[in-house]
Structure 1
Amino acid sequence: MAGMQTALKAIDNTAPAYDGPIFDGDSHIQEKDYSFFEKYLPKEFHKDWLPQRKYGPDGEFGMFLGDSYRIENAALDPDGRIPPPGKLKEWLLAISTGEAVEAAHPVTPDMYECEARLAKLDEFEVDGCVMFVGEFVSAFGQVLLQAEAKGTAGANALFHAWNLYVVNEWGLNARDQLYTTAVLSLHDLDWAVAEAEWLVENGLRVCVMPMGPTGGKSPADPYFDPFWKILNDAGVVVTYHVSEANFMHPLIRAFGEEPLQNRKNGQTAWQWMFAYSEIPVMMTMANFVYWNFFERFPNIKMASVENGAEWLPRFLYKMDKMRGMARSGWWPMGQLKERPSTIFKRNCFVVAYPEDDIKGIVDQLGGDASCILMGSDYPHAEGVARPRDFVEEGCKGLTYEQVEQIMYSNGRRMLPKGKTGIVA
């Protein structure tokens, strides 16, 4: 129409230049071998519980617990090599087109030795880094399944063996820069309390736990309060990293499918969509909020890791809405005094994938980037090759202040420097 001007706003497809410090919310050990389990797991448990890389009776190479129990979904290379760190897209594209590709990457000392990893963090300009279990993360859920079948003593010994390994060979807080995750679980409360006390005495800052309920109880049930009090008093960060969600198995079977499919068959698209990653972690974290957990334990921070972040805006909206729907319902630990979204954003964090639409997520949150973290996933192929690459890959269209929050200050709010996570 004459006299009218059309203003076209260009889409900002760039990321602000960011050269500040980095807090990496997701990185991993890559175990060179499992000899440390032979060292730390008592011999009476080796037959049924010792993690091993070996060929099975079917000729397939994989990870086993003891002599015969295969850990499914464990992608292993018989030569101990891994896909190139941060190069999954390029790697898969090259394979699909038949081009020459670096099929595997050697496991380097920074992946399995503390001093070498600290040097790598300095090279990457990373001020703080949470480091998770490597291949053994594939075993968490199935260790607990074995505990149901064979008793908890072996599972307790195996988790403690991992914790001995990280305490003795990595440390739980290396120069306030590298925070290695210990493994904790609620499957045996007496063990969990004793293990948590021992870990706190050894400087625990971050732990990783299985998602979901335990023994027919919410993880926020007062039954478990003796355990949570230990972590709360020490200001420990509790993380839920993507892994097998055992509590979804009855649902999977109810739909006529089977969980724990092996590498050759793979789990179905339906399981990927509904029984793995974001839905189990949403159910778990919402349960903590609705059970008034953070009123009782305000010093505990909690994080979802490697479950993406695109679910976050709808999740926060629905938590607030369902609080209203349940206003006359049963509240196991009493009505909330604040909006669930307010509680979550104060106490909880979500590590985004670099391929997430992080700008869209932040826009849906009204410009609030305060609970989003970056994660490199180093040395895994799925993330970025270097933590700073996350700015270019994931932060397009954000303001400098939002980038700084995601790349650094949110992580340091979650895990401040100092002996404990409690800020005086």
Structure 2
Amino acid sequence: MVPTVTSPRQVLEPVRRCHRRRPPRDEVAVSETITDRETGASRPHAVEPSDDRGADLGYRPFDADNHYYEAIDAFTRHLDPRLGSRVFQWATINGRQYPVIGGQVFRGVSNATFDPVSKPGVLADYFRGNPNDDDPVALLRDHEPIRAEYRNSDARLATMDAHGLAAVWMFPTLGMLYEEALKHDPEAVTIMFRAFNRWLVEDWGFARENRIYAAPYLTLADVDWACEELDWALAQGARSIVMRAAAPTTASGQVAPGHPSNDRFWARVAEAHVTCVVHAGDAGYTSHGYANDGFTTDFAGVPQPIRMLQLERPIEDFLSSLVCDHLFVRHPNLRIASVENGSKFLGGLFDKLRITARKMEGWWAEDPVETFRRHIWINPFWEDDVDDVIELMGADRVIFGSDWPHIEALPRPLDYLADVAHLDEVTRRKVLLDNVTELNTP
């Protein structure tokens, strides 16, 4: 069986930087009953034991990167069945269910139903340098039935209590992958994500009990649609929106996200004072022959470390284009958060921006790095060195995210406390709580 993989960095070799090992965690100890939305049946919900490692903080952290595993009908519940063959439907092939997107079988995720699914954070040590020399394929074969909190907001709130979290930003898993597969038909892209967003607000809400903040997915494949969808999402209480790090494909070809033709969308975002999150996903990038192209879930076969070196290209291109195209000059209240895209690109990008500014004197009215720092927040990979990111961005622009419950996530969100324990109290609170709270406040 090919293991389930749910984010672009899961196809990469481990970062060879070892960190302190984590203590073992207790097994699930408590059980509640949760009603399954799809079947109406009651089923037991295992509640994790409380994580009291944050008790001395005096506050509960706000996790800026949590995920749900989409319900089977997430893309079809509100989709006109007559459009299934053009947009999205399911197919059973050799006993396994696969999404069919735009009439093509999507194999980017081998287990798109997520039942069973690998455990949260099963690759955590692997991404910290693989000190045990584990075989990632073997780790991923340790499956369990899907947990209620992956698809049920009541169960997720109970899990957040156990994890010691005040609130979370909640993002798609499959939803970050599907635009690329359908980009040849921009209208179909908007139809698919309109249906998806209606499912999202129905199952999760955009501000559930002011603790779970699920972000609707928006695309600039059609700027008129994006404006209408944004207005709808704001009326439903959305505090943030999410898109992938890619120049959208429109009916007339690709257009840079910061192009003036998109200004009416960005003006609405800035006026509403909601944060646009650019989250890792399938950006459609090519390795130009240096490695196999396409999003993949397969850890088996010959390693391709070149893909690790290319991992942060999409977010570097996306964010730098916003600065180069003067988006923040035209919309000075705009806030962008990069989530689960890494941070190693920052130093080199800042050097290149300053060199370019010297070569193109007059293009920017100020240091472009200062523009970048004013408008952009960075959620580094949890295995990145947070001190490096703070030095580059400033303590006010770094946000904590665990990526829970993905396989490359922290097994429990507060595992991150060990990585920020050395920070002074004010800086630590900014990273764990204050910065994302500011971004989440209209």
**Mapped pair 1:273 → 2:309:** yes
CA distance in 2, matches of 1:243, 1:105: 25
CA distance change for structure 1 residues 61 and 240 in 2, over 3 Å: closer, same or farther?
A: farther
CA distance in 1, matches of 2:173, 2:260: 32
> Does structure 2 conserve the Cα–Cα contact (< 8 Å) formed by 1:62 and 1:71?
no
- Give a deviation string over 1:349-374, Cα, whole Å, max 9, x none: 11112211222433x439x3221111
Indicate the RMSD between aligned Cα atoms, in angstroms. Answer: 3.2
Please name the residue that 2:72 is paired with. 34
Please name the residue that 1:113 is paired with. 152
TM-score between the two structures when normalised by the length of structure 2:
0.77
Q: 2:119 aligns with which of 76, 79, 84?
A: 84
> Does structure 1 conserve the Cα–Cα contact (< 8 Å) formed by 2:114 and 2:146?
no
CA distance in 1, matches of 2:388, 2:272: 36
**Mapped pair 1:73 → 2:99:** no
Q: In the alignment, residue 306 of structure 2 is paired with which amino acid? A: W
Q: 1:408 aligns with which of 433, 436, 441?
A: 433
**Mapped pair 1:123 → 2:162:** yes
- Give a deviation string over 1:211-266, Cα, whole Å, max 9, x none: 232334321111111111221221121111111222x34xx34x475521644578
Q: 2:330 aligns with which of 277, 282, 296?
A: 296
CA distance in 1, matches of 2:137, 2:194: 45
CA distance change for structure 1 residues 99 and 131 in 2, over 3 Å: closer, same or farther?
A: closer
Give the Å deviation of 1:55. Answer: 4.6
- Give a deviation string over 1:78-101, Cα, whole Å, max 9, x none: 771222112314588596399999
Q: 1:382 aligns with which of 404, 408, 420?
A: 408
> Alignment length, in residue pairs?
382
Q: In the alignment, residue 344 of structure 1 is paired with which amino acid? A: F
After TM superposition, list the pairs within 5 Å mapping 1:139-218 onto structure 2: 139-144=178-183, 148=184, 151-214=185-248, 215-218=253-256
- Give a deviation string over 1:267-307, Cα, whole Å, max 9, x none: 94334422x4x111011111112222123223321111111
Give 3-state SS (helix, strand or coil) of 1:208's partner: strand
CA distance in 2, matches of 1:130, 1:89: 21
CA distance in 2, matches of 1:89, 1:114: 25
Q: In the alignment, residue 381 of structure 2 is paired with which amino acid? A: Y
Q: 2:171 aligns with which of 132, 145, 166?
A: 132
Q: In the alignment, residue 273 of structure 1 is paired with which amino acid? A: L
TM-score between the two structures when normalised by the length of structure 1:
0.80
Give 3-state SS (helix, strand or coil) of 2:378's partner: strand
Question: Max radius of gyration: which structure?
Answer: 1
Give 3-state SS (helix, strand or coil) of 1:349's partner: strand
> Bigger shift: 263-272 or 232-241?
263-272
Query: Unmatched 5+ residue regions in structure 1?
Result: 1-11
Please name the residue that 1:223 is paired with. 261
Q: Percent identity of the aligned residues? A: 22
Give the Å deviation of 1:410. Answer: 1.3
Please name the residue that 1:349 is paired with. 377
Please name the residue that 2:32 is paired with. none
CA distance in 2, matches of 1:157, 1:231: 21
**Mapped pair 1:365 → 2:399:** no
Give 3-state SS (helix, strand or coil) of 1:365's partner: helix
Give 3-state SS (helix, strand or coil) of 2:244's partner: coil
- Give a deviation string over 1:339-390, Cα, whole Å, max 9, x none: 222222222111112211222433x439x32211111111112121222111
CA distance in 1, matches of 2:319, 2:410: 26
Give 3-state SS (helix, strand or coil) of 1:350's partner: strand
